[in-house]
C-alpha cells in the first residue's frame, strides 16, 4: 500500500511533511477499517490516547468501514470511547457490521452514516455445537454478558 505524504503548515509558517494518516490524526480523525482484532484495538487505544494526552483535542471523529470481528476487541474499543472524556463522533463510511456496528453506536457525540453505507447488527453467535449442558450454560452466560 502506498501512503501519500502531505505538507502541513504549522504555526509560524513552519512546514512539516507528514504521511496522510498522521495528518488526519492531528486533526482528530481515526479510521477503523477492516476486521476488528486485537491489533485494531491496540492501534485505536494508542491513537485515542495520543489525541487526548498529547494533542489535547476535545473532539475526535471515527470513520468506520468494517465487517466486524472479535467481539472482545470491539468491547475494548467501546470501553476506551466511554473512558476518554472527550466528544467522540462516529461515522459509517461503508460497512459497520457486527462489532463495528456496536462501535458506531457507542459514539458520545454524533453518530452518522453516509448515504449508501450499510449497518448490520445481529445476535451474538454462541457456537455451542454439540457441547454438554454445563458448557452450554457457560456459553449462554457469556452471550448475555456480550449483549449487555
45-56 pLDDT tens trace: 999 999 999 999
The phi-psi region of residue 33 (left if phi > 0; otherwise alpha if psi is between -120 and 50; otherwise beta) is beta
Q: What is the pLDDT of residue 145?
A: 85
Q: How far apart are the first and last CA of the chain?
A: 38
pLDDT above 60 for 128 = no
Q: What is the pLDDT of residue 130?
A: 59
Residue 110 falls in the annotated catalytic set: no
Active-site residue among 98, 110, 113, 137? 98
Determine the number of helices (DSSP H) and then strands (DSSP E) in the chain. Answer: 5, 7
Mean pLDDT of 54-83: 96
Residue 11: DSSP 8-state: G
Express as a percent the part of the chain with pLDDT over 90: 70
The model's confidence at residue 74, banded by pLDDT at 50, 70 and 90, is very high
Residue 46 falls in the annotated catalytic set: no
Provide the whole-model pTM.
0.83
| Nearest-angstrom CA–CA distance, 49 and 4 | 24
Amino acid at each position: 500500500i502506498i501512503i501519500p505524504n502531505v505538507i502541513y503548515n504549522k504555526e509560524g509558517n513552519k512546514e512539516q511533511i507528514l504521511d496522510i494518516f498522521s495528518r488526519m490524526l492531528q486533526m482528530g480523525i481515526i479510521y477503523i477499517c477492516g476486521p476488528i482484532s486485537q491489533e485494531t484495538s491496540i492501534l485505536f487505544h494508542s491513537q485515542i490516547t495520543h489525541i487526548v494526552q498529547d494533542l489535547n483535542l476535545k473532539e475526535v471523529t471515527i470513520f468506520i468501514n468494517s465487517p466486524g470481528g472479535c467481539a472482545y476487541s470491539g468491547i475494548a474499543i467501546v470501553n476506551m470511547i466511554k473512558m476518554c472524556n472527550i466528544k467522540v463522533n462516529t461515522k459509517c463510511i461503508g460497512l459497520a457490521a457486527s462489532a463495528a456496528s456496536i462501535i458506531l453506536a457507542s459514539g458520545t457525540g454524533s453518530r452518522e452514516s453516509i448515504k449508501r453505507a450499510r449497518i448490520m447488527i445481529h445476535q451474538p453467535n454462541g457456537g455451542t455445537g454439540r457441547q454438554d449442558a454445563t458448557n452450554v450454560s457457560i456459553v449462554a452466560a457469556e452471550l448475555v454478558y456480550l449483549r449487555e
